[in-house]
Amino acid sequence: MEFREEGEGEPVSPTGQYFNSSILSVAIFAVLEFEVPINDSQALSLIQDVFLPINPRFSSIMVSDNADQKKQWQRVEVKLEDHVHVPIFPSKMSPQSYDEYFDDYISNIAAEKLPQNRPLWEIHIFKYPTSHAAGTLIFKLHHALGDGYSLMGALLSCLQSAENPSVPLTFPSLKSSGPKTTHKTKIVPQFFSSVFQTVSDFSWSILKSNFVEDDRTPIRSGEDGVEFRPITLSTLTFSIDEIKLIKNKLGVTINDVIVGIIFLGTRIYMQEITQKSSNEHCTALVLFRTRNIGGYTSIKEMIEPNNAKTTSWGNQFAFLHLPVPKSTEISNPLDFVWEAQKMIKKKRSSAASYLTSWLLDVLKKFRGPEGAARYIHGTLKNSSLTISNIIGPVEKMALDNQAVCGLYFTAVGAPQCLTVTALSYMGKLRIALGAEKGFIDSHKLKASMQNAFGVILEASNQIPPAKAA
């Protein structure tokens, strides 16, 4: 699930075609919040001199080969005035008032498709102070250009450490704690367990993508065309230290804690809206990376086509179908975290994602990229929400000496009413909730997530460290 990044006229990867089709068009928003107002002219020179040279795809469009209709990347002249937008609003208003303008602006640009006749990205400069920042930079990047890891790595390559620009940014390690030793007597049972899990997951994935829909709930309307409706983007912040405290007490991973909090928060919200939602079938698609690397690599390594170990640009991820635990079946809030751990561990031992990739190749061969895109669209539409998280820098970073005080991302264009993303930065975890406007109450959903975090943190403080699930 990746494309090569050398020269021009390179073929668009299959995944790139799936995410930019008549069936599906998904974009990633990356939002940078600054401590001081943004300088327009300075930003334009940085885009020209730093952002565009990062990757040829930022200066290319998708074109179809006349012979076989296969899509390729073709380099074109980039007109910055077509890509950089600076909205104008009334001056000298309060940050709270500009919060409303910002929310409406995000909602409007999220609903707009990126034009196909120019490179698939936009940058929006919001120069007004909000309650979060003195100025905000919004990157809208089409998913066909790459996944969150690729695009975040590209953006971070434009930034430096605020304390010492000559020192590279540092990140928490993505590596596991170490290799696990498996006793020989367990190899055979684990093999058969993995085979069974693979068959089960692959079969369920096909059913979910084609026939079995989640119930209609306060977070899933089940209607067609939700990807074209406006969204409300809200965020909340958790302490990484407190998440680590929960992690250590429960003997799980940080990812397990994040997913458990989102599961519980989702159920709390659904029950607040209607009591019937506590026992309804609800599935989350959790994205996980398929790269065999321990952290961010340089942009040069990302786009190097001749090194299989380091090539990491493109779309390299898979979905895990995780049923959101039912409230009626769980009495202890910590069970939401342990259930997340149990399910993620099982799904990761499965090879279903590779079979799904094979199935998409088959669909592409016989039905074209549109047929494969329709399958992915069904996978998203029949589920209730998508969860994705990315690690960010440990220390404060700056763009041309302008300090970044906040950072978060989201994805738009998926046929779902709710998308939940998480990004760490400077010891904080920023959760972004992309919710369908007018259908999901973002204020109540945000409060429910905050409540879930508080309940799980309090419950974890009542147990001794490293209690196994």
**Closest to 411 (Cα-Cα) out of 424, 401, 420:** 420
pLDDT in tens, 328-369: 778 899 999 999 999 998 887 788 777 888 888 898 888 888
- 238: CATH: 3.30.559.30
* Per-residue pLDDT tens over the stretch 46-64: 888 888 888 888 999 998 8
Give the total number of structural domains in the chain. Answer: 1
8 inside domain: no
* Of residues 430 and 309, more confidently modeled: 430
- Per the model's pLDDT, the better-predicted residue between 190 and 279 turns out to be 279
Q: Does the reported pTM lie above 0.85?
A: yes
Does residue 196 have a pLDDT over 90? no
> How far apart, in whole angstroms, are the C-alpha atoms of residue 187 and residue 193?
10
**Would residue 1 count as lying in a domain?**
no
The answer to whether residue 3 is domain-embedded is no
Is the model more confident about 158 or about 416? 416
Q: What per-residue confidence (pLDDT) applies to 312?
A: 52
Model confidence over 88-131: pLDDT tens digits?
Answer: 999 999 999 999 999 999 999 999 999 999 999 999 999 999 99
Residue 396 lies in a domain: yes
Residue 193 pLDDT greater than 90, yes or no = no
> 273: how many CB neighbours lie within 10 A of its CB?
16
- Domain of residue 438, residue span: 14-169+187-460
Share of the chain above pLDDT 90, in %: 53
Number of H helices, E strands in the chain: 12, 15
Does some domain include residue 412? yes
For the stretch 219-237, pLDDT in tens is: 999 999 999 999 999 999 9
- Give the Cβ contact number of residue 186 at 10 Å: 10
The region of weakest confidence among 251-255, 308-312, 337-341, 434-438 is: 308-312
Is residue 427 situated within a structural domain? yes
pLDDT at residue 197 tops 50? yes
Domain assignment present for residue 469? The answer is: no
Per-residue pLDDT at 69: 63
Question: Is 291 a member of any domain?
Answer: yes
